[in-house]
């Protein structure tokens, strides 16, 4: 194995060392960087250190990485030598506790649910960047949008999972034994995951309908060949590309309308997440009980805070008393690890490149995108969203007052 020396402090010509560890979350099979991105990093003067075996669950051998210039090393050496660690999920405590001043961490880190850890890493001088904080409405952020890339993978997989669980055919089937009608599929939420689920279900031959509380989503839904349905209650557009949280009265009226619609479908796929909050229950118990025997519900919003479907539990499948199959999964992307890893690796490359200046992982906090996605840098909490969650003042104002004083 080849040992690499850390970049000398202040050496602007030094290559950036990107470390990649094997993911340890239960069921996680993806890897943060694929061989193609390793090669691209190399062409740009950077180098990658990969923990031995890290990419095995995603379908690649260590040799695939060493062939394009990566250094294969034990876990401890990767952590020690890396200038920045790229991760899919927040690394375990035995990793985060060893990160040092000036080192970087990039990934889907769920910072707003891990404020104490973010504060600890900040105090230790670690630079943290979380994909969840990316300002997704900025067009230049698209290449870095890991939430969208992984949602696309999850939406595609949701349609496949639903087809597998459904006891009938998705397409119309005309045979000597008779004609089977196509499955009727409803996808609730016309974000990235929802649109991918719609287009995949349609390719499988189903008759598809997309539902969203944002009337402006009609064009996107119809562009993938689906019919569009929406709520008559309120235009639910929010900030950052998400649907806004409805008031209790609005939600009750919407659910009544939606329940009547849901019972007409064979398959329902729900994608309505509300970042940092409990997702709305869009398929309540009485609606589930009114669905036809053999129907399927796939809940992509299922997680620790609940889900869109009554009783759904992340990672579990059950059948109700009236014969409806309920499948909860917050992250179906990990079930197609090779494709999902390829997309995530491109996001990592784009973000790391944007935050790297003259060979050092040093974000430009004068840039709106970088200031938003960076949790902390130089022992300061930077992200406005994280500062708000921690009850801190505006960092720009604070720095201005320091200059005046």
Question: Is 3 inside a domain boundary?
Answer: no
Q: Are 398 and 390 in contact (CB under 8 A)?
A: no
Listing DSSP states for 349-395 in one string gives HHHHHHHEETTEE---TTSHHHHHHEEEETTEE--HHHHHHHT---H
Whether residue 1 lies inside any domain: the answer is: no
Distance between CA atoms of residues 333 and 402, nearest Å = 45
181 sits in the region (left: phi over 0; alpha: psi -120 to 50; else beta) called beta
Instruction: Give whichever of 60-74, 246-260, 261-275, 387-401 has the largest mean pLDDT.
Output: 60-74
Residue 11 structure tokens: 């050496």
228 and 310 within one domain: yes
Length of the chain: 405
- Asked whether residue 335 carries a pLDDT value surpassing 80, the answer given is yes
Phi-psi region of 362 (alpha: psi -120 to 50; beta: other; left: phi over 0): beta
pTM confidence score: 0.88
Known catalytic membership, residue 30: no
The answer to whether residue 251 is domain-embedded is yes
Alpha carbon distance 230, 73 (integer Å): 53
Number of domains in the chain: 2
291-324 pLDDT, tens digit each: 999 999 999 999 888 999 999 999 999 999 999 9
My answer on whether 28 and 64 are in the same domain is: yes
Q: Give dist(CA 92, CA 83) in Å, integer.
A: 18
Catalytic residue among 142, 260, 292, 400: 142
Catalytic residue at 372?
Answer: no
> Mean pLDDT lowest for which of 189-193, 248-252, 294-298, 299-303?
248-252
Q: Does 244 share its domain with 277?
A: yes
The two tokens of residue 275 are: 């970042």
| Residue 11 maps to a domain | no
Domain boundary among 330, 361, 395: 330
Residues 66-85 have pLDDT tens digits of 999 999 999 999 999 999 99
> CATH number of the domain that 128 lies in?
3.40.50.720
- In the set 145, 266, 299, 314, the catalytic residue is 145
Phi, psi of 68 (to 5 degrees): -110, 15
pLDDT band for 254, please (50, 70, 90 cuts): confident
Report how far apart, in Å, the C-alpha atoms of 101 and of each of 51, 243, 295 are. Answer: 21, 38, 53
Which residue did the predictor score with more confidence, 404 or 335? Answer: 335
Q: Which residue carries 């939430």 as its tokens?
A: 147
> Residue 148 and residue 153: Cα distance in Å, rounded?
9
* 136 a catalytic residue: yes
Q: Is the dihedral of CA 80, 82, 83, 84 positive or negative?
A: negative
The range of the structural domain enclosing residue 87 comes to: 17-144+336-404
Pairing of the two strands 207-211 and 173-175: unpaired
List the catalytic residue out of 17, 34, 103, 148: 148
For residues 133-157, give the mean pLDDT.
94
Last residue of one domain, picked from the residues 330, 365, 380: 330
Is 254 an annotated catalytic residue? no
Q: What is the pLDDT of residues 336-372, one digit of tens each?
A: 999 999 999 999 999 999 999 888 999 999 999 999 9
Asked whether residue 314 is domain-assigned, the answer is yes
CA distance 61 to 58: 9
Residues 268 and 354 in one domain: no
Please determine, for residue 242, whether its predicted confidence score (pLDDT) is greater than 80. Answer: no
State the catalytic residue, choosing from 22, 136, 371, 387: 136
260 given a catalytic annotation: no
Mean pLDDT score across all residues of the chain: 90
| 235 or 335, higher pLDDT | 335
**Which of 62, 113, 242, 278 does the annotation list as catalytic?**
242
Classify residue 245 by its DSSP letter: P
Q: What's the CA gap between 281 and 311, in Å, rounded? A: 10
| 45/124 same-domain check | yes
Q: Which of 330, 349, 371 is the last residue of a domain?
A: 330
């Amino acid at each position: 194995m080849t040992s690499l020396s850390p970049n000398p402090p202040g050496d602007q010509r030094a290559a950036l060392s990107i470390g990649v560890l094997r993911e340890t979350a239960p069921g996680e099979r993806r890897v943060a960087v694929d061989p193609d991105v390793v090669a691209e990093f190399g062409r740009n003067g950077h180098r990658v250190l990969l923990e031995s075996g890290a990419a095995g669950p995603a379908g690649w051998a260590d040799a695939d990485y060493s062939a394009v210039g990566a250094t294969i090393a034990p876990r401890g050496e990767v952590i020690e030598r890396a200038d920045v660690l790229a991760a899919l999920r927040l690394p375990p405590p035995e990793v985060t506790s060893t990160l040092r001043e000036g080192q970087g961490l990039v990934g889907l880190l769920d910072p707003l649910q891990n404020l104490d850890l973010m504060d600890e890493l900040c105090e230790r001088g670690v630079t943290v960047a979380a994909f969840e904080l990316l300002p997704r409405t900025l067009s230049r952020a698209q290449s870095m949008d890991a939430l969208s890339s992984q949602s696309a993978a999850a939406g595609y997989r949701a349609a496949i999972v639903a087809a597998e669980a459904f006891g009938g055919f998705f397409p119309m089937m005309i045979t000597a034994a008779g004609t089977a009608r196509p499955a009727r599929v409803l996808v609730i939420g016309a974000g990235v995951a929802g649109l991918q689920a719609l287009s995949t279900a349609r390719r499988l031959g189903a008759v598809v309908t997309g539902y969203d509380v944002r009337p402006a989503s009609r064009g996107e839904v119809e562009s993938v060949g689906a019919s569009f349905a929406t709520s008559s209650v309120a235009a639910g557009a929010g900030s950052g590309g998400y649907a806004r949280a409805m008031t209790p009265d609005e939600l009750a009226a919407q659910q009544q309308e939606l329940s009547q619609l849901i019972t007409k479908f064979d398959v329902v796929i729900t994608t309505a997440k509300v970042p940092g909050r409990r997702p709305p229950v869009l398929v309540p118990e009485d609606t589930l009980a009114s669905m036809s025997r053999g129907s399927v519900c796939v809940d992509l919003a299922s997680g620790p805070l609940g889900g869109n479907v009554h009783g759904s539990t992340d990672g579990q499948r059950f059948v109700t008393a009236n014969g409806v199959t309920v499948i909860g999964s917050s992250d179906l992307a990990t079930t197609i690890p090779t494709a999902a890893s390829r997309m995530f690796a491109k996001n990592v490359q784009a973000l790391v490149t944007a935050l790297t200046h003259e060979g050092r992982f040093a974000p430009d906090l004068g840039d709106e995108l970088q200031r938003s996605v960076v949790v902390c840098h130089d022992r300061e909490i930077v992200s406005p969203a994280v500062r708000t969650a921690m009850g801190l003042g505006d960092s720009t104002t604070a720095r201005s007052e320091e200059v005046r004083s």
